[in-house]
Structure formats: structure tokens, C-alpha cells
Structure 1
Amino acid sequence: METISVALILLLAVVISGALARMSPIALPLPLFQIALGVVIASVANLGVELEPEIFFLLFLPPLLFLDGWRIPKEGVFRDKGTILELAFGLVVFTVVGVGFLVNWMIPAMPLAVAFALAAIVSPTDPIAVSAIAARVPIPKRLMHILEGESLLNDASGLVCMRFAVAATLTGTFSLAEAAGTFLWVAIGGIAIGTGVTWSATKAKNWISRKFGEETGSQILISLLIPFAAYLLAERLHCSGILAAVAAGITMSYVEQTGQALAVTRVRRSAVWDTVQFTANGIIFVLLGEQLPQILAGAAQVVHETGHHEPAWLLVYVVSINLALAALRLLWVWTSLRFTLFRAARRGEALVTPSWRLIAAMSLAGVRGTITLAGVLTLPLVMADGTAFPARDLAIFLAAGVIILSLVAASIGLPHLLKGLELPPEPSHQEDEDRARIAASEAAIRAVERAQHDMGEGRSDADLYVDAGARIMELYRQRIDGRSKTGEERDLARKIDEIERRLRLAGLRAERDEIYRIVRSRSLTDEAARKLVREVDLLEARFRVT
């Protein structure tokens, strides 16, 4: 009963934090309100929450990483893949080495392996926090795509690096050659397992749906279970559960292009996943606030052991780490940009040198968020010999401080840097979208004509089918509403409405199938396709009898 009460309190806190963020006259990121609310809860009630690292990791990270992989706009990622890979892998290693040595130098009581673990934890960025901060100023789509792609990949690379650092702490040994071989195994195995689990699960459920019909609730539940299945299977086989969850999400986005699920399933599933994302992110930050007083006490004790008797040194550490992160990111972005321009010049391409504000915005946009917090809270409680994990509370406090300070700094600086910022123009997909709409409508008209003929053939009231079909096809041609009949024609209108409903469903199914065919041929972006399919799904959900 006590566990249920705590869970309900946390959920209520997430709801209240959202309301407080909307009511606040100051535009601050939602996570700051959630952390503050968690501190308030800790000050008025002792919930007694004890976070088991492995359980915490399992509950929160797989679904969040899965959803990131599922929804990320892949066209933007593929277009800027060079920049994204440099940020997601090169910058992570650069950050781990640089910040790791800095933390160990500042805090000798924190072993080097733990310092590397902390540096790896604070390396992943959070584009959701950036988009929330930049709500007051439109953020360029291309910049957002780069940040999203970087975040998806550096979540995996950062957390994998953290696992190696934690293993080195627990065993006391580290071999670069062995780590490289292990990394290849855990990476390739994790990706293969995530891909295989999603593909197998969707193939099985699609076969069952074709044979025995589809039940929306089961389909949604399967999508919720897939990331956990991929993560647990990968961990069981000593591969990366993190990469498995990401790969499962990316595979899900491709599998969904087959259009097997019912429209109502997709609509309801999207709403469920939005709720899962909002809830998981919110609970993580509320839990941080609730644990913060206890974490602060443990961190102050470690600081005392270093010879610094004033807790104010904690703030010095947090500011120093943030400055180091910003400096390393700025240096890496500038250097990466120089190499990109150099390669473009070698290929004879026209050069457009981005402004300094773009480089500064890219650096300041490295906000830390949910993944950093979830990762640091999974640090082991004890060593192999039963002793306490060294400087665990301090590491958690420093990671939390980095999150808070990076959120505040970005919320103040990004709106000014982004205002009027110009990037190389995004390729316009409007013509592709228009062609897809035309092709989908033409496919729908052909399907309505066939269905109208099949349904009305040999019937005495075949003219009703012709009338209903004409109305539907006129809607597709002109996109206007049909007339509604009243008075004495009501009974006849009801019958026509039922025929019209069935013809509408036939047309909508054909329209969606055509959109999926176009996106599979790579003539339309999956982002545009998702928009068009959602429109069709909403219409089908309206006309389908449940």
C-alpha cells in the first residue's frame, strides 16, 4: 500500500508541475518546476523512496530511448550524419576524457574511474529540454534535427561509456584492447537484438491480426513491452540493452511503414506513448528533487573529506564542470565545422560560413536532462566487497547540478542567440507532400469506384450506391463537405450515410496505403508521411464503428 501511495503522489506531482509551469509568468523549463516540487515534497513528507539502480534503469530508460528512436526524423539525421556522428561519438569521448581528468583533479576523493563515469553520464544531451526552452523563439528545424540525432546516439554512447567506467571501478582494472573488443560485441549484439525483437514481435502480431482480427489494447500493450523485451534480452546475453532499446525504436519506425495496424490503434497508441514520455520524464525529475536533500548531505560529506570544509565548494564544482562541458563542446563544434568546410572546399562546393551565433547556439544547446539523471541514479550502491560505492552521492549531486545549471543557462541565452539566426535552408518537401496528397486522393477515388460497383452490383437500390460514391469522390476532388439530408428524406439519408461510411473507409485505407508506398520508395519523408497518415487515421477513427 505504501508503494502505491508513493507512486500516486509522484504522479500527482507531475501533473501539478505541468500546471505550475503553464501558470508561471517566467518562462522556465518544466524540469526545474518538477525538481523544485520534489524538494517541497521532501521537506513536508518523508516518502522513504529507495532507488534500486537496476530497477530504476529498467523502468525508465528503455521506453524513453525506444520512443526517441521511433520518432526521430531520420531524413534530417541522414542528411547531416557526418556532423551528428562527430558530436555523438567523438564529442562524447572528448568529454569523458577532458571532464574526467578535471573532476579527478578537483576532487581527489573521487577515483578516476568514478570521475570518468560521471563525465560519461553528463555527456548525453536532451533536445526535448532545448525545444521547451526555445518555445519563445522558433528554433531552426535543421539545428533541431542535428540536436535530436546527436541526442539519440550520444545517449547510447554516453551510457555505454558509463558502464565501462563503472565496471572499471568495481573490478579495479581496465584494458583498452579488451574494452574495445567488448564494446564491439555489446554494440553489434545490442543493435541486432533490438532490431530482431521488434521485427519478430511485429511480424507475429500482424500475422495474428490478419488471421483472428486486431484488438487495439493488445497492440498498444505490445508496443509498450517491446523496449523492455529488447533491453532484458540484450542484458541477458551481455550486450548493450541501451543500444537494443534504441535499435528497437528505429526498427519500429520502419516496420510501421507497412501500415498493418488499424487507424484507431495508431491514434490511441500515439496518445499512450505521449503520456508515457511525459510521465517518465516528470517522475525522474520529481524523484531527483525528493532525493536532493539526502544527496546534498552525502555530497557535503565527500567535500569535507577533500579538505574543503565549506559546502559552497559544491557550487564551485558544478560551475566548473558546466564551464568545462561548454568549453569542450564549443571547441569541438568549431573544429568540426572547420573540417566540414575544408572537406566541402576540397569537393568544390560553394561555402557558406555559419555565424558565430550558430556555433554558440550549438554549444549552449548541449542541455543535460532525463538520460543524464536516469543514468547517474543507476550508479551501484556498493562495491563487490560490500563497501559503499565511492563518492556516489557526490556524483549524483554534481550531475543534478549540471542539469539544473545547463537548463538555466540555456533558457537565458538560447532565445537571444536563436533570434533571427539563419541556417542553410532546409530542403522543401512541399512538392513531395502535394504529389503524395494527389496520388493518395487518386488512389482513394479508384478504390471508391471499385467498392461502389461491388457493393451496388445487382441491387435494386444500386442508385444509392452511385449517389454515395459520387459524394465521396467529390469530397476527394474538391475537399468539401457533402450535403446532409433532413426532413422526409431522413430515413433515406441514414441509409446513404451508412453506405457513405463504408465507402469512406475504403477510400481512406487506399489513401493511407498509397502514402506508405510512397514513403517506402523514399519519395516522401517519414515526418511528412506521419503527418498525412495521422490525418487519415483520425478520419478513419471517426467513421469506424467500434
Structure 2
Amino acid sequence: MESISVSLILLVSVVLSGTLARLSPIALPLPLVQIALGAVIASVADLGVQLEPHIFFLLFLPPLLFLDGWRIPKEGLFRDKATILELALGLVVFTVVGVGLFINWMIPSMPLAVAFALAAIVSPTDPIAVSAIAARVPIPKRLMHILEGESLLNDASGLVCMQFAVAAALTGIFSMTEAFGTFLWVALGGIALGAAVTWVVMKAKDFVSRRLGEETGSQILISLLIPFGAYLLAEHLHCSGILAAVAAGITMSYAEQSGQALAVTRVRRSAVWDTVQFTLNGIIFVLLGEQLPSIVVGAAEVVRTTGHHDPVWLIVYVIAINAALAALRFLWVWLSLRFTLFRASRKGTQVPKPSWRLVVATSLAGVRGAITLAGVLTLPLLMNDGSPFPARDLAIFLAAGVIIVSLATASIGLPILLTGLELPPEPSHQQEEDSARIAAAHAAIKAIEGMQHDLSQGRSDADLITDAAARLMELYRQRIDGRAMTGEAAAQVRRLEEIDHRLRLEAMRAEREELYRLGRSRQIHDDLVRRLVREIDLVEARVGMR
């Protein structure tokens, strides 16, 4: 009963945090509001939440990583693959070594392996936090795609590095040769298993759906179970469950292109996953705030062992680590940019030199978030001999401090850096969209003609079928003609479409209000109201996604 009560309190806190963030006059990032709310809860009530590292890891990371892999734009991922890999792999190793040595030098009481583990934990970035911060000053699409791709891969690389560091801390043994071989098995095995699990499950699902029909609830539940299945199978075979979840998500995006799922399944599944993402991210940050007081107490005890009796040194440590992370990230981004320009000049390609403000913004956008918190909370409680894991509370506090400071710094700095910044124009996909719409319209006309022929055979109402088909095909022909135009004519068509778009939205809102009025006055029954309103909602959702 107590666990259920705690879960309900956390869920209510997540809902409340969204309202508080919208009420904030200074547009505080949602994660900061959730951390503060968790701290308030801890000050007025002792929930007694004991976080078991492996359970926490299993419950939160697989679905979040799976969804990242599922939804990340693949075009941007492959177009900027070199830059993304430099940030996601090279920068992670650079950060683990550089920040790990720096932490060990600054806090001698923290063993080197634990310092490396902490550095690996704080290396992954969180694009969701960046998106929340930049809501009022949008980040350029291409930069956002790079940050999303980086976070997708550095989540995996950072947490895999953390696992190696923790293993070294537990055993006291580290072999570079053995680690490299193990890394290949862990990484490649995890990727292969994640892709295989999704592929097998989707093939089995499609086979059953073709023969027995599709049940929407089951399809949504299957998508929720895939990341956990991939993660658990990979961990059972001593591969990376993290990479398995990411690979499962990427494979899901390709498997989905088969178009086997019903439209209603896709709509409802998307809504469910949006809720899962919002809930899990929110609970993680509320839990951080709830655990913060006890984390501070434990960290202060560790600080005293370093000879610094004043807990203010905790703040010094956090600021110093953030400064080191920012400096290494800026240096890596600058070197990566120089290398990119050098390669382009060797090929004779003219690449516009980005503004220094964009380089600083890219560095500042390395905000830490849910993955860092989830990772640090999985540090073992005990060593192999049963003794407490060294400096665990201090490592958790420092990671939490890095999250808070990086969020606050980016929330202040990014709007300043991005406001008024002139950027290279984003590539237009209008021609590609027009071609796709024309091709889809031609396919629709062909399908209508075929269906008209089949329905008209031996029917007394063949004239009605012909008339309905002609009216529907005329709509598609108008779309083809409008999208095939160029120049001023095309602009005129698009202005007309925009006006039509606004009029249709207003008309559907009026329809819905009238249906609710009829329902309130008992002129139509509730089931009919729900069915008709849902039809309007689905059309409005499609029209509104322009």
C-alpha cells in the first residue's frame, strides 16, 4: 500500500510541475521545477523511497532510450554522422579521461576508478532538457538534430564506459586489451540483439494481425514491452542492454515503415508513448529532488574525509566539474570544427565558417539530464567484500549538481547566444514534400478508379458511385495541380491553402462545440457525442500538423 501511495504522489508531482513551469514568469526549465518540487516534498514528508540501482535502471532507461532511437530524424543522423560520432564517441572518451583525472586530483579520497565512473556518468547530454530551455528561443534545426544524434549515441557510450569503470572499482583490475575485446562484444552484441528482438517481434505481430485482425491495445502493449525484452535479453547474455534498447528503437522506426499498423493504432500509440516519456522523465527529476537532502548529508561526510570540513566545498566541486566539462566540450567542438573545415578545403568545398557564438552555443547546449541521473543512481551500494561502495553519496551529489548547474547555465546562456544569431539557411524540403504529395494523390486516384470499377459491376446505383468517385478524384487532381505549380502561382496556392486551413480548423471547433451543446441538452446520447467528436478530433489533429 505504501509503494502505491508513493507512486501516486510522484505522478501528481509530475503533473503539478508542468503547471508550475508554465506559471513561472522567467520560463524555468521543467527539470529544475521538478527537482525543486521533489526537494519540497522531502522537506515536508519522508516518503522513504529506497532506490535499488538495478531496478531503477531497468524501469527507466530502456523505454527512454528506445523512444530516442525510434523518433530521432534519420536524415539528420546520417547527414551529420561524422560530427555526431565525433561528439558521441570521441568526446565521451575525452571527457572520461580528462574529467576523471581532474576529479581524482581534486578529491583524492575518491578512487580513480570511481572518478572515471562519475566522469562517464556526466558525459551523456540530454536534448529534452535543451528543448525545454530553448522553447522561447528555438535552436536551429540542424544543430538540434546533431544534439539529438549525439545524445542518442553518447547515452550508450557513456553508460558503457561507466560499467567498465564500476567493474574496475569492484575488482581492482583493469586490462586495456581485455576491455577493448569486451567492449566489442558488449557493443556489437547489444546492437545485434536489440535489432533482432524488434525485427522478430514485429514480424510475428504482422503475421498474427494479417490472420486474426489487429487489436489496438495489444499493439501498444507490444511496443511498450519491446525495449524491456531487448534490454533483459542483452543483459542476460552479458551484452549492453543500453545499446540493445537504442538499436531496438532505431529498428522500430524502420519496421514501422511497412505500414501494417492501423491508423488508430498509430495515433493512440503515439499518445501513450508521449505520456510515458513525460512521466518517466518527470519522476526521475522529482526523485532527484526528493533524494537530494539525504544525498547532501552523505556527501558532506565524504568531504570531511578530504580535510575540507566546510560543506561549501561541495559547491566548489560542482562548479569546478562543470567548468571542466564546459572547457573540454568547447575545446572538442572547436577542434572538430577546424578538422571539418580542413577536410572540406582539401576536397575543394566551400563551407561557411560558423560564428563563434554558434560554437559556444553548441558547447553550452551539452546539458545533463535524466540519463545522467539514472546512471549515477545505479552505482552499487556495496563492494564485492560487503563494504560500502567508496564515495557513492558524493558521486551522486556531484552528478546531481552537474545536472542542476548545467540546466541553469544553459537556461540563461542559450537565449542570449541564440537571439539575433544569423545562421546559414536551413535546406528547404518543399520540393520533396510537393513531390510526395503528388505521388500520393496519383496513387489515391488510381485506387479510386479501381474501386469504382469493382463497385459498379452489376449495381443499380452505378451512377451514384461514379458521381462520388468523380468528386473525390477532383479533390486529388486539385492537389496535384496546386503542388505542380511554381513561382507566384505556387505562392498563391499556398496562401489559399493557409486560409483554407484556418477556416477548416475554425469550422471543426464550431462543430465540436455544437455537438457538446446537443449532448448537454440531452438531444443526442453520450456515445454518439464521443464518436462524432473523436472523428472531428482525428481530422483536426491531421489538419493541425501542418
For the superposition of Structure 1 and Structure 2, which TM-score range results when normalised by the shorter chain?
A: 0.7 to 0.9
On the 8 A contact 1:369/1:403 being kept in 2, the answer is yes
Residues 198-209 of structure 1: matches in 2 within 5 Å? 198-209=198-209
* Deviation for aligned residue 1:329: 0.3
User: Quick check: 1:293 aligned with 2:290?
Assistant: no
- Cα distance in 1 between the residues matched to 2:264 and 2:140: 33
Q: How far apart, in 2, do the equivalents of 1:278 and 1:261 lie? A: 24
* Distance change (3 Å), C-alpha of 1:541 and 1:141: closer
**CA-CA distance at 1:421 after TM superposition:** 2.4
What CA distance in whole angstroms lies between the structure 1 residues aligned with 2:477 and 2:169?
67
Alignment of structure 1 residues 232-271 onto 2, 5 Å = 232-271=232-271
| Superposition deviation, residue 538 in structure 1 | 4.4
The residue identity in structure 1 corresponding to 2:73 is P
2: CA distance, partners of 1:8 / 1:471: 53
Contact between 1:264 and 1:538, CA under 8 Å: does it hold in 2?
Answer: no
After TM superposition, give the deviation of residue 466 of structure 1 in Å. 1.6
SS of the equivalent of 1:51 reads coil
Written as runs of structure 1 = structure 2, the 5 A alignment for 1:115-514 is 115-478=115-478
C-alpha distance in 2 between matches for 1:130 and 1:319: 20
For 1:400-432, what per-residue CA distance to the aligned partner results, in whole angstroms no more than 9, with x for missing partners? 000000000000000111123234333221101
Letter in 2 for 1:38: G
TM-score by length of 2: 0.88
Contact in 2 for aligned 1:186/1:239 (Cα 8 Å): yes
Shift of 1:541: 10
**SS state at 2:475 partner:** helix
Aligned residues of 1:121 and 1:376 also touching (Cα < 8 A): yes
What displacement does 1:539 show?
4.8
Cα displacement (A) at 1:351? 3.1
1:272-309 deviation digits (Å, cap 9, x = unpaired): 00000000000000000000000000000000111100
Identify the residue that residue 489 of structure 1 maps to in structure 2: none
Confirm whether residue 12 of structure 1 aligns to residue 12 of structure 2: yes
SS for the counterpart of 2:134 is: helix
- Give the AA of the match of 1:66: F
Could you tell me which residue of structure 2 aligns to residue 75 of structure 1? 75
1:312 Cα deviation after fit: 0.4
How far the C-alpha of 1:12 sits from its partner, in A, is 0.3
> How many angstroms apart in 2 are the aligned matches of 1:62 and 1:177?
29
User: What's the CA shift for 1:153?
Assistant: 0.5
- Cα deviation for residue 224 of structure 1 reads 0.3
Separation in 2 of the partners of 1:61 and 1:104? 28
Secondary structure of residue in 2 paired with 1:206: helix
CA contact (8 A) 1:326 1:363 kept: yes
Residue deviations 1:108-167, cap 9 Å, x none? 111100000000000000111111111111211111011011000000000000000000
Instruction: Name the CA distance, whole Å, in 2 between partners of 1:207 and 1:424.
Output: 47
Give the superposed CA RMSD: 1.6
Q: Which amino acid aligns with 2:228?
A: F
Within 2, Cα distance between the matches of 1:161 and 1:448?
A: 56
Q: Deviations over 1:322-378 (max 9, x none)?
A: 000000000000111111111111111113111110110010000000100100011
Secondary structure in 1 matching 2:89 = helix
- Structure 1 residue 540: Cα displacement: 12
1:226-267 per-residue CA deviation (whole Å, 9 max, x = no partner) reads 000000000000000000000000000111111110000000
Write the distance in 2 (CA, Å) between the matches of 1:538 and 1:230: 33
Separation in 2 of the partners of 1:471 and 1:392? 70
Partner SS for 2:135: helix
Q: Which amino acid aligns with 2:181?
A: G
Letter in 2 for 1:129: A
TM alignment of 1:88-107, pairs within 5 A: 88-107=88-107
Contact 1:263–1:538 (CA<8 Å) still a contact in 2? no
Could you say if the C-alpha distance between residues 266 and 436 of structure 1 is closer, same or farther in structure 2, counting changes exceeding 3 Å?
same
Per the alignment, residue 109 of structure 1 pairs with: 109
2:90 corresponds to which letter in structure 1? G
Aligned mates of 1:191, 1:281 — CA distance in 2: 24
**1:85 maps to what in 2?**
85
Relative to the length of structure 1, the TM-score reads 0.88
The amino acid across from 2:194 in the alignment is: G
- Once the two structures are TM-superposed, the CA of residue 28 in structure 1 deviates from its matched residue by 1.1
1:520-531 alignment to 2 at 5 Å?
A: none
Mapped contact 1:264–1:541 kept (Cα < 8 A): no
Distance in 2, matches of 1:420 and 1:258, equals 42
Q: Conserved in 2, the CA contact under 8 Å of 1:333 and 1:363?
A: yes
Instruction: Report the residue type matching 1:350 in the other structure.
Output: Q
Letter matched to residue 326 of structure 1: A
Instruction: Specify the code of the residue in structure 2 equivalent to 1:104.
Output: N
Q: Contact 1:264–1:540 at 8 Å: present in 2 too? A: no
Contact 1:448 1:473 in 2 (8 A): yes
Quote how far apart the aligned CAs of 1:469 are: 1.5
Q: 3-state SS of the aligned residue for 1:179? A: helix
Identity of aligned residues (%): 81
Cα 1:541–1:301 shift into 2, 3 Å: closer
Q: SS at 1:136's partner residue? A: coil
Count matched residues. 488
Alignment-mate amino acid for residue 28 of structure 2: L
Single out whichever of 234-243 and 450-459 deviates more from structure 2: 450-459
Q: Distance in 2 between matches of 1:264 and 1:143?
A: 33
- Give structure 1 stretches of 5+ with no counterpart: 482-534
- Unaligned segments of structure 2, at least 5 residues: 480-499, 505-534
Paired residue for 2:513?
A: none
For residues 336 and 268 of structure 2, the distance between their equivalents in structure 1, rounded to whole angstroms, comes to 42
- SS of corresponding position for 1:187: helix
Per the alignment, residue 509 of structure 1 pairs with: none
